[in-house]
Chains A and B, each alone.
Chain A
């Protein structure tokens, strides 16, 4: 058996299955996977072979089962052999939310693990974040410092026990200990620590709590003073905070949740799910200002569970414990220093986190998962590639960085690393990369980067190449290759890569691209007409300026009745006019993300952004569901001209049409554009598979409408499902393209 078959209770499962079927033999972990030999009646052996994959334990992912006949050994016992040393292509399990059995023990006063904040078993608990080496065994985890007591040892050694060879297990006698630190007081431990934590949370305090993959900053989500104070201390602008609800019922009281969303929210992965918040949720306005959605999760560790088991807040803000832009803090002593200005007290413990792992963030669109951040619970589970790669490291993009290691048919996409202009993030990247190399055994012979000459990820690769070739892949080509790879599609496809910013082959900022793409290359078939992006990042932070730039490009006057024009002071308008006229610090861009910004501002929704994609998110949130009208782009050969769309938006806004209607009509226009272009390309090229990628497709309204229309039009649609469509999925695409890389060209002045 190959796949994720170690550290997930696979051998005990084989043991139990063999015993049930009355078979003798043995089972062992090897570098290649799990090998079992069974001996007994033919019917029973056949049943064993059939059930081994079907009945596998919940965390196991069986990729292949090979059966062959061997000489009978004549034994009568079934035994589990010790793990053989040596590393191999064994797949490490992600961290897993507390299982129902463990939760029952946590709540049972008669159980010896009653209220034990570290209860875990073969089916749940930390894995990835505590593994320091392979093979996966207790000494190679951060539990090495906790020798098992006789009771735990017995469970660990009993093949019939749920804790057989479960590396993270412990109990109140032999396990880690909770510790609460509050400046100016003596540290408190265990139940006492929990009691103080409760008291603090109930009285508006901000608590740093150590989770599976790092510290969270936690406070009562209904306490506006506490939330506003956390927002200020974290220098957070108005970027939304995630919350943790006590359970599914508590989550339902603050957000609208359908079946698919409930299943994801309370399942075994337990990511943050983006859900439409209820108007009367009782959640403090500072949790997600101006945002129609709430990022909600439910407890996934026993410690989280214990935070909710007494009267007190039933929804807590739970945001990454870090300084703005820095990676999540994992060590207790580091947390007390780095988060000194952010928290009132620290609830930690002595089980070290070896590598950080942020919470995953997922949206449900058309009952299917749309990953926004793929981290805890998902990483480092590999993605199977449609084409083989030699040992390769793709370093990804610069914002929301993830990287990807590949070898053969496997690609390991890392969890969230962060924004690479930060020194601490750069270091976290290095550490995470080394850790993933260790876990996967991949020693990269080739490095892959984006083409953006200013990307720190690219600089890092060039600095660390050590003689290995470094190839670069165009940003939007990588986006499309990413969604193709996760669908195991070999191309060619009609690809739409819509995002905010990506370095184009002509030095412009691309982002509204229709391409014919394979892993070997791409052809840019159509793109949004270039408009100047005034002041680079400054233009991104000020959607109202982007609106004015778009108006100017479309030949529309800066009518002072338009909200975007009214937003700018006279001086700002004059400066902007001069800047656009003389093209000072203006880069031409075909970005769809910037068009969303412009329309959001024109509709009066958002003029200045405090976090990435804020203007587009708020515009999407307003879209009226049953609007049937739409705007239309002008398609002229390679150029997609948004001028008619802008003219129509201006007409509607001046006529007093509701922003939600304008938003809906704009979304329909973009979906319509995709279908029209796809049809044009199908007619010319005969292609009928459409790939959608780029951060713009995190937009639920757009993705859903586009997929529906394309499907009705007879297209096969590759939509982001396992890997984020944002730059967080870029590395996978880079890897897939590099698998087919040819020689680089020569440089010129």
Chain B
């Protein structure tokens, strides 16, 4: 099970089983979406499957996720999503009204993101062979001239920016799924990021890295960047934007907010000279109001992500492995 958690185990699965089987230079980049030339156009292409439970949660549903997930994967290559495909796998016995609500959410989300659902497919599996509804989407979009966004481009000195509050989606999903409340309600912030990215690209086409820290959270995304680029990343603990509710829930459950899943958030790595302008553009956008600089890339400790505590100690933030397990003896 841990292989699907988005942490180290899924990384191993991809690296050792899938990449060798499909060996080609486009896939080898292992980015959220593939960027290639086709008929003179620079395209980004991506696919994602959605197996989230519950199907509906405060602030969104699997329909929103299915659109935004793929739109955002494309946006992380600097591409503006144009067309989506959509495949449903339904478990026998699932109520039609549920499927209807999901389809409606999906349509609304596509409209909000400015993307057209151009093709689709539906399959039904026997009861017990699915979990209600699974959705797969794929999408294509155009990449602007001169844009080259890849994790490998992170370089020492670059500034790391997050577009908003960390951990909100994961805690919202958990509180609904498990029926527990952590005081005030946490609402997921599932959203399409193509508009925000467009606003950032208007400031500079030289964004180095973009990443949406979904499964595995900020920690996993930053580890992937650090390893791909061979740079170290230093985070400043007190600069991490974490809502109090999320902090409290994490503290109670023994979780680290850096590992909690996000939707509608992005991490950007930009040249130090561009940081202020990009940050300003983000804060001017509705989805980037809480954007904050959370750290920087460093030459020290290549491949490792660390956070600096208020007392000046540095804690290593590893890629999570499966579920978080206690280490205290």
Residues of A within 8 A of B (CB): 235, 323-326, 338, 341, 397-400, 420-424, 426, 452-456, 459, 463, 499-503, 509, 533-540, 571-572, 575, 578-579, 582, 584-585, 587, 593, 612, 695, 726-727, 749
A499 touches which of B253, B322, B326, B329 (Cβ 8 Å): B329
Q: Report Cα–Cα, A323/B314, bound state, in Å.
A: 10
Q: For A584, what are the chain B residues with a Cβ–Cβ distance below 8 Å?
A: 174, 178, 180, 253
Assess whether B180 is in contact with A578, with CB atoms less than 8 Å apart. yes
A536 touches B311 (CB 8 A): no
Verify if B115 is at the interface (C-beta below 8 Å from A): no
> In the bound complex, do residue B251 and residue A422 qualify as a contact, i.e. CB atoms below 8 Å apart?
no
Does B313 touch A at the CB level, under 8 Å?
A: yes
Smallest CB separation, A338 vs chain B (Å): 7
With the chains together, A579 CA to B254 CA distance in Å?
Answer: 12
One of A453, A463, A500, A501 near B322 (C-beta < 8 A): A453
CB-defined contacts of B321 to chain A, threshold 8 Å: 453-454
| A456 and B326 form a contact (CB under 8 A) | no
B328 contacts A399, C-beta separation under 8 Å? yes
A81 to chain B, nearest CB (A): 47
Q: Interface code B234-262, partner A: CB below 8 Å = 1, 0 otherwise? A: 00000000000000000111110000000
Determine how close the nearest CB of chain B comes to the CB of A478; give it in whole angstroms: 12
Residues from chain A with a CB closer than 8 A to the CB of B314 are: 422-424
Please tell me if the beta carbons of A423 and B328 are within 8 angstroms of each other in the complex.
Answer: no
Are A454 and B313 closer than 8 Å at their CB atoms? no
Chain A interface main SS type: mixed
- B258 to A: closest C-beta gap in Å: 13
**With a CB–CB cut-off of 8 A, which chain B residues contact A575?**
180, 182, 252
B325 / chain A contacts, CB cutoff of 8 Å: 452-454, 503, 509, 536, 587
Asked whether, in the complex, the Cβ of A612 is within 8 Å of the Cβ of B253, the reply is: no
Partner of B255, one of A399, A452, A540, A585: A585
Q: Are B316 and A538 in contact (CB under 8 A)?
A: no
CA gap between A671 and B8 in the complex, in Å: 41
Contacts A/B (CB < 8 Å), 26 sampled: A397-B329, A398-B327, A399-B329, A423-B306, A423-B314, A424-B313, A424-B314, A452-B327, A453-B8, A454-B324, A459-B318, A500-B328, A501-B326, A534-B254, A535-B254, A536-B324, A537-B326, A538-B251, A540-B326, A578-B178, A578-B180, A579-B180, A579-B253, A587-B325, A727-B329, A749-B3
Q: Judging by beta carbons under 8 Å apart, are B253 and A585 in contact?
A: yes
Contact code string B70-96 (vs A, CB < 8 Å = 1, else 0):
000000000000000000000000000
Chain B residues within 8 Å of A578, by CB: 178-180
Contacts of A501 in B (CB 8 A): 326-329
Interface positions of B from 283 to 316, Cβ below 8 Å from A: 301, 303-304, 306, 311-316
Pick from A338, A454, A533: contact of B327, CB under 8 Å: A454
Closest B residue to A455 using CB positions:
B327
B317 CB, min distance to chain A CBs, angstroms: 9
CB distance from A347 to the nearest CB of B (A): 22
- Seed contacts A398-B327, A422-B316; 14 additional CB < 8 Å A-B pairs: A324-B313, A326-B313, A423-B316, A452-B325, A453-B325, A454-B325, A463-B303, A500-B329, A503-B325, A536-B324, A539-B326, A575-B180, A582-B180, A612-B329
Partner pick for B326 among A420, A423, A509, CB 8 A cutoff: A509
Q: Contacts of A399 on B, CB cut-off 8 Å?
A: 327-329
- The residue from B8, B254, B311, B313 contacting A537, defined by CB atoms under 8 A apart: B254
Smallest CB separation, B105 vs chain A (Å): 26
Alpha-carbon distance A213/B312, docked complex (angstroms):
22
The CA of A695 and the CA of B329, in the complex, are separated in Å by: 8
A-B Cβ contacts below 8 A, count? 119
Report the minimal beta-carbon distance from B232 to chain A, rounded to whole angstroms. Answer: 9
Asked if residues B313 and A593 are in contact (CB atoms below 8 Å), the reply is no
Residue of B nearest to A499 (CB): B329
Q: Give the contacting residue for B311; candidates A323, A452, A500, A749; CB below 8 A.
A: A323
Q: A323-B313, A426-B316, A585-B255 are in contact. Are A612 and B328 (CB under 8 A)?
A: yes
Interface centre among A326, A423, A426 (most CB of B within 10 A): A423
* Alpha-carbon separation in the docked complex, A575 to B183 (Å): 10
B178 touches A533 (CB 8 A): no
Contact with A along B172-194 (1 / 0, CB 8 A): 00100011101100000000000
Interfacial chain A residues near B318, Cβ < 8 Å: 454, 456, 459
Closest to B320 in A: A454
Per the bound structure, the CA–CA distance linking A455 and B314 in Å amounts to: 17
Nearest CB in chain B: distance from A474 CB, A? 14
Min CB distance A216 to B, Å, is 18
Instruction: Tell whether B127 is near chain A: CB-to-CB under 8 Å.
Output: no
B178 touching A323 by the CB < 8 A rule?
no
Q: Give A535 to B249 CA distance when docked, in angstroms.
A: 10
Q: Please, which residues of chain A bring their CB within 8 A of the CB of B301?
A: 423
Task: Annotate B1-29 by CB proximity to A: 1 below 8 A, 0 otherwise.
Answer: 00100001000010000000000000000
A539 touches B3 (CB 8 A): no
- The answer to whether B313 and A538 have CB atoms under 8 Å apart is no
Q: Which residues of B contact A537 (CB under 8 A)?
A: 254, 326-328
Contact of A538 among B253, B323, B327 (CB under 8 A): B253
The answer on a CB contact under 8 Å between A585 and B254 is yes
Find B329's partner among A456, A538, A726 (CB 8 Å cutoff).
A726
Closest CB in chain A relative to B107 CB, distance in Å:
33
